[in-house]
Amino acid sequence: MGSKPPDRTFFGQPRGLVGLFFAEAWERFSYYGMRALLLFYMTDRILDGGLGIDSGSAKSMIAVYGSATYMAAILGGWISDRVLGDRRATLTGGVLIMCGHICLAIPAGAGALFASMIFIAGGTGLLKPTISSSVGDLYAADDPRRDSGFSIYYMGISVGAVAAPLVVGTVGQEYDYHLGFGIAAVGMALGLLVYVRSQHHLSPRSSAPKNPLRLSDAPRSRVITVSAGVAALIGAVAIAVATGVLDAGGIVDLISVVAIALPIAYFTVMLRSKRTTAAERARVRGYIPMFVAAVAFWCIQEQGATVIAQYADESTDLDAFGFAIPASWFQSVGSLVLIVLTPAFAVMWLRFDRSRRAPSTAHKFAVGLAIAGLSYLLLVVPAQHPGATNPLWLVGSLAVVTVGEMCLSPIGLSATTRLAPAAFATQTMGLWLSSNAAGQGIGAQLVKFYDAGSAAVYFGLLGLGAVVLAGILFAIAPLIRRQAERRESTEDASLAGAQR
Ligand code: PHE
């Protein structure tokens, strides 16, 4: 299976990993930098350089935008698998993202904001699944370095995420919003530069579409029906928004529903496709419970930006150390912990995977989800007492959930590249990214139940739910491993070989 990985290495990892690490770090820098500034820019008074949008609508728009960005990854994956191939899709996506930040760098009001959202959601949809898929292509099918390689790659994401609010956010808020967004554009440009200069280290598999589209493949009537259906849906939503039938709350509900329905529909398509072999189908079935666990995990982890941010603001003693800690600082705790712990995790996965006692992917997921549950259960202790909590409780909880993230998120990327049906390689990566959109979609509904008075109940129930789900996954992990390890029977193998 698969061609040999390139020979030259970097600290034991394929050379191509270095370029992908820095390109993705800069892309995330531009994305998270822009997001750190967006709410302030949208809600600030027009006189002060903002757009004067009310805070409720702005928050809903930002949530919908974030969710749509990760859902777009499925479409981006499709374009890569069938038309462009990963390398060209990453480049195109990077250019679109840069255009999006440039739109915001020009002081041109709400029109420029909407244009930038389209550029950035579309561009990220193209870039994020394809760049992650290219990491997977650096490794042969049975290469034991895959999980630790993805852990290192994931650290790049956190390097970008932690630096962004400090640089883009500070410049944007202290000097000028558009200057801040301009820095995000420069960041993406640097990412593109790194990518272009290092792309010769990528696997040749990243250059061609994995399942090229031949127009004769799809009956024209089906193409017309699908396009008309999508256009009608977008039109209907646009009219509902314009006429006020669908208000901000309605849009959030709609996104929640779509974010859950989309992966279900996509799994169905993949399982039914003629291009999926019997063994691949078994692997997809084994992947589904892990996907569900990932949705639950993101549902908790992404509340770091909503419920936990609110808890930091309302229920934490921010003067505990003799100076006023800005509540926004808690947003960086996770990324910092991740950067510090990654080397240890990368070594640990390597050791594990070279030993005979390696835990399976499902086991790692179950542990990750259980740890996320524990991070919430930990908060039950301070939340029971009225009055301001010592900030160390929050820091501890955020550190714990990050350890869970390291067991689940890089491993999920790695497993996705290993378990994806060949014809759907990058689309499966898009699907993986949509687990985050689905988690946030469910989270958007759950957060409505949070209030400072009953915080202990909220954290307790969600934490317990996560631990129980993790227990179930742990119990069925041996079954999943058997599905994942199913090899092709002879006729499947020749079909798969022809596609690869
Ligand atoms: N921090 C992660 C990232 O930006 C969050 C994420 C996880 C996003 C999974 C999408 C899917 O990559």
> Which stretch, 51-55, 271-275, 405-409, 448-452, has highest mean pLDDT?
405-409
pLDDT score recorded for residue 63? 79
Give me the percent of the chain exceeding a pLDDT of 70. Answer: 94
Please, what are the domains in the chain? 16-211+222-489 (1.20.1250.20)
First to last CA, the chain: 8
CA-closest residue to ligand 1 atom 12: 157
pLDDT score recorded for residue 373? 97
CA-closest residue to ligand 1 atom 11: 433
What's the DSSP call for residue 15? Answer: T
Does 66 have pLDDT greater than 60?
yes
- Cβ pair 170, 36 in contact under 8 A: no
CA-closest residue to ligand 1 atom 2: 157
Does 64 have pLDDT greater than 90?
no
- Give the pLDDT band of residue 460 (cuts 50, 70, 90): very high
- Give the pLDDT band of residue 486 (cuts 50, 70, 90): low
Torsion angle of the four alpha carbons 419, 420, 421, 422, in this order, in degrees rounded to the nearest 10: -110
Does residue 35's CB lie within 6 angstroms of at least one atom of ligand 1? Answer: no
- Give the pLDDT band of residue 492 (cuts 50, 70, 90): very low
Does residue 28's CB lie within 6 angstroms of at least one atom of ligand 1? Answer: yes
pLDDT score recorded for residue 61? 81
Amino acid code (one letter) for 76: G
Name the E strands within 310-360: none
Q: pLDDT per residue over 222-262, tens digit each?
A: 778 888 888 898 888 888 878 877 777 788 888 889 999 99
- Give the pLDDT band of residue 468 (cuts 50, 70, 90): very high
Amino acid code (one letter) for 373: G
Does residue 495's CB lie within 6 angstroms of at least one atom of ligand 1? Answer: no
pLDDT score recorded for residue 409? 95
109 to 40, 101, 106, 157, 186: CA distances (angstroms): 14, 13, 9, 30, 21
* In the block, residue with structure tokens 């926004």: 328
